[in-house]
């Protein structure tokens, strides 16, 4: 089985701050990590390889530093990786990102399955997985929490709002997976050594030859106009419980609040 | 020369024998945008529904909730969601009617079909919007949505690609009161066989392992976090939830420790909920957790740590031992609800 896993390097969410004046994100000095939800996709891919044989190819579109994310995933147990990097790819929205990733996947041999994480924790859109499938004219099954192979097809459980939907899809197919699918393993020491020594080819647009009008900021139909901090904090009523009396009073106050807001 | 009427499409979803109420939320957004767009150009709200045969009455509710027109693509093969088939139909329809704006709810359905279609239409798509507005002079759709785990809000525009597509966060919109006297055109479209080429098969639906209310739909959610301490203590969370007719949620810590299953997880790598009430028990309020619940209407938190981050977003915070507070709270809630129902009976 040849499985492709597109991954993204993202800033560590809790560390990202904003320059309120200019409305831009401050990424300097913020640690970069593999998108946490991609770890589940990587794990599922490796599990399938261990069970059925084959290989796992990683793909990442990003700045040169994204090569570290690829190495980390290889250290977990993937076979190879390609870094898609070019200044022309920068500033891409989900349409332009899916365009580049899909075209890179087209260059690969015999891809049976493409597994994506549910979404990236910086953009939070979840749109690239289905976007890739659309460009490749493949079916896509999203929010997959369980996956079994059945001959040349897969049977998946999708986690939807009120339960699970079970589908059977002949390969090749794109899936996006949720956390429930598997528990990501840690990279091994040997894996890290292997990853360090491995050549990870850089594919830029000179190699890919894609239509520049479809790339990066220029190729993105959407544009971010403004970034601002939400007013999330609330001036809440605080009650401190230090005694039985406090406890009674606090509980009464909560019930009164709930009643007032029609929440009882 | 008469200017073309701009169509604001809202994608509706079927649910059982009727319409999924989230469809009315998206309609409300469409109606709001139409009002703003009317200052610049004539617009109309068109609800688009792809479903098997449903009662006319059910379909017509889309008009009652704000649609000027309903495009009802009807086929038994649409009973199950097969992305390629749905996308094929929507792509053709959008190519024909050329809507100005195309909205859907950010449900598992909407978040799957919209990106697939946006690629086919070479259109821009913004996910999970909480605010939608019209830019005064240009008439462009202003799409505002959270990113970086809810740490920031971004406003996005689609300058030239059409339609301007967006998914709207569920439970973030007040539904309009239905007007059963409202007139609107319901057009049934029988789709061509060529749209049904998907080789994916829907096998069955399985409800979640417990009988409990799915939290994305719950109006009230009671959630337990690390402060619950151990699996057995989750019973207290369930009890409070039951007393309030609420769904049960959990922080990542509680799920990772196996105290409750993943569908209950609220947060960055779990579900985002916008209930009327979110009651957090023993949850510290990490950024990852807040990302999943900070837009709830009313937030009440109980935690023994006065510096817990959750208190920054709580409308009411109780600093105390939840094992002391919660049993008393449950008792008082039960009593208050009994009193309410007795009142109704004697009235």
Q: Strands B141-147 and B152-158, how do they pair?
A: antiparallel
Q: List B318's β-bridge partners, or say none.
A: A239, B302
Does A162 lie in the same domain as A249? Answer: no
Indicate yes or no: CB of A263 within 8 angstroms of CB of B220. Answer: yes
Q: Which residue of B has its CA nearest to A240?
A: B319
Q: Which residue of B has its CA nearest to A20?
A: B152
Decide if A227 is inside a domain.
Answer: no
Decide if A62 is inside a domain.
Answer: yes
Q: Which of A135, A162, A226 sits opposite B119 (nearest CB)?
A: A135
d(CA B318, CA B320): 6
Q: Which of B87, B112, B262 sits opposite A142 (nearest CB)?
A: B112
pLDDT tens track of chain B, all 347 residues?
446 899 999 999 999 999 999 999 999 999 999 999 988 899 999 999 999 999 999 999 999 999 999 999 999 999 999 999 999 999 999 999 999 999 999 999 999 999 999 999 999 999 999 999 999 989 999 999 988 877 789 999 999 999 999 999 998 888 999 999 999 999 999 999 999 999 999 999 998 766 667 898 899 999 999 999 999 999 999 999 999 999 999 999 999 999 999 999 999 888 989 999 999 999 999 988 998 998 899 999 999 999 999 999 999 999 999 999 999 999 999 999 998 777 766 65
The residues near B68 (Cβ < 8 Å, ≥ 6 apart) are: B44, B45, B46, B184, B185
Contact B12, B49 (CB under 8 A): yes
The C-alpha of B60 sits at a distance from chain A's nearest C-alpha, in angstroms, of 25
Does A212 lie in the same domain as A260? Answer: no
Does A238 lie in the same domain as A140? Answer: no
| pTM, full prediction | 0.90
Of B188, B5, B166, B33, which Cα lies nearest the Cα of A94?
Answer: B166
Question: What is chain A's percent helix, strand, coil content, to nearest 5?
Answer: 35, 30, 35
Q: What is the mean pLDDT of chain A?
A: 94
The C-alpha of B112 sits at a distance from chain A's nearest C-alpha, in angstroms, of 6
Q: Is the complex ipTM higher than 0.90? A: yes
User: Residues of B with CB below 8 A from A220's CB?
Assistant: 124
Decide if A77 is inside a domain.
Answer: yes
d(CA A1, CA B244): 50
Structure tokens at A29: 């000095």
> Angle at Cα A221 formed by Cα B126 and Cα A59, nearest 5°?
80
d(CA B276, CA B228): 23
Q: Output the CA–CA distances (angstroms, integers) from residue A40 to A71, A146, A183, A242, B75, in the order listed.
A: 16, 11, 7, 44, 36
Structure tokens at B20: 């999924």
In the block, tokens 């409750």 appear at: B260
Indicate yes or no: CB of B157 within 8 angstroms of CB of A18. Answer: no
Q: Angle at which helices A67-76 and A36-52 pack, to 10 degrees?
A: 40
The C-alpha of A19 sits at a distance from chain B's nearest C-alpha, in angstroms, of 11
User: Residues of B with CB below 8 A from A37's CB?
Assistant: 269
The C-alpha of A173 sits at a distance from chain B's nearest C-alpha, in angstroms, of 9
Q: Which residue of B has its CA nearest to A162?
A: B214
pLDDT tens readout for residues B20-54: 999 999 999 999 999 999 888 999 999 999 999 99
Does A254 lie in the same domain as A205? Answer: no
Does A113 lie in the same domain as A184? Answer: yes
Q: Strands A9-11 and A32-34, how do they pair?
A: antiparallel
Domains assigned to chain B: 6-195 (3.40.50.620), 220-346 (3.40.50.1220)
Does A36 lie in the same domain as A92? Answer: yes
Q: Which of A140, A161, A234 sits opposite B108 (nearest CB)?
A: A161
Tally of domains in chain A: 2
Q: Which domain holds residue A44?
A: 2-219
């Amino acid at each position: 089985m040849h499985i492709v896993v597109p991954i993204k390097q993202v800033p560590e969410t809790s560390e990202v701050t904003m320059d309120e004046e200019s409305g831009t994100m401050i990424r300097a000095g913020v640690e970069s990590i593999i998108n946490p939800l991609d770890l589940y996709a990587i794990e599922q891919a490796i599990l399938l390889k261990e069970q059925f044989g084959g290989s796992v190819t990683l793909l990442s579109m990003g700045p040169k530093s994204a090569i570290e994310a690829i190495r980390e995933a290889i250290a977990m147990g993937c076979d190879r990786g390609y870094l898609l990097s070019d200044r022309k790819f920068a500033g891409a929205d989900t349409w332009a990102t899916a365009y580049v990733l899909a075209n890179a996947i087209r260059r690969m041999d015999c891809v049976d399955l493409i597994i994506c994480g549910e979404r990236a924790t910086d953009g939070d859109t979840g749109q690239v997985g289905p976007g890739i499938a659309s460009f490749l004219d493949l079916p896509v099954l999203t929010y997959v929490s369980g996956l079994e192979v059945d001959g040349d097809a897969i049977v998946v459980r999708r986690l939807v709002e009120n339960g699970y939907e079970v589908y059977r899809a002949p390969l090749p197919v794109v899936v996006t997976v949720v956390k429930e699918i598997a528990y990501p393993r840690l990279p091994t020491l040997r894996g890290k050594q292997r990853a360090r020594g491995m050549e990870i080819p850089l594919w830029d647009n000179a190699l890919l030859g894609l239509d520049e009008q479809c790339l990066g900021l220029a190729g993105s139909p959407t544009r971010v106009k403004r970034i601002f901090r939400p007013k999330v904090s609330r001036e809440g009523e605080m009650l401190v419980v230090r005694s039985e009396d406090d406890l009674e009073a606090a509980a009464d106050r909560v019930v009164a609040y709930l009643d007032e807001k029609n929440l009882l | 020369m008469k200017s073309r009427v701009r169509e604001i499409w809202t994608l509706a979803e079927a649910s059982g024998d009727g319409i999924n109420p989230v469809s009315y939320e998206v309609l409300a957004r469409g109606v709001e945008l139409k009002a703003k767009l009317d200052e610049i150009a004539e617009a109309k709200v068109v609800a688009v529904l792809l479903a098997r045969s449903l009662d006319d009455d059910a379909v017509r509710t889309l008009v009652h909730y704000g649609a000027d027109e309903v495009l009802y693509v009807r086929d038994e093969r649409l009973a199950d969601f097969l992305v390629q088939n749905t996308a094929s139909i929507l792509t053709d329809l959008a190519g024909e009617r050329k809507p100005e704006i195309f909205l859907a709810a950010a449900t598992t359905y909407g978040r799957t079909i919209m990106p697939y279609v946006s690629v086919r239409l070479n259109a821009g798509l913004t996910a999970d919007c909480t605010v939608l507005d019209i830019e005064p002079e240009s008439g462009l759709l202003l799409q505002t949505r959270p990113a970086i785990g809810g740490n920031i809000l971004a406003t996005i525009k689609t300058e030239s690609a059409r339609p301007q597509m967006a998914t709207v966060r569920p439970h973030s919109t007040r539904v309009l009161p239905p007007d059963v006297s409202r007139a609107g055109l319901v057009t049934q479209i029988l789709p061509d066989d060529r749209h049904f080429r998907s080789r994916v098969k829907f096998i069955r639906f399985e409800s979640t392992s417990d009988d409990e209310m799915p939290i994305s739909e719950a109006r009230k959610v009671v959630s337990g976090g690390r402060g619950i301490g151990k699996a057995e203590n989750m019973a207290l969370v369930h009890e409070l939830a039951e007393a309030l007719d609420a769904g049960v949620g959990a922080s990542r810590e509680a799920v990772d420790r196996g105290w409750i299953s993943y569908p209950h997880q609220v947060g960055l790598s779990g579900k985002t909920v916008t209930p009327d009430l979110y009651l957090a028990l023993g949850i510290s309020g990490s950024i990852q957790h807040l990302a999943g619940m900070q837009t709830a209407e009313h937030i009440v938190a109980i935690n023994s740590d006065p510096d817990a981050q959750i208190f920054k977003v709580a409308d009411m915070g109780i600093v105390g031992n939840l094992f002391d507070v919660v049993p008393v709270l449950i008792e008082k809630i039960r009593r208050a609800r009994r009193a309410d129902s007795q009142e109704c009976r004697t009235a």
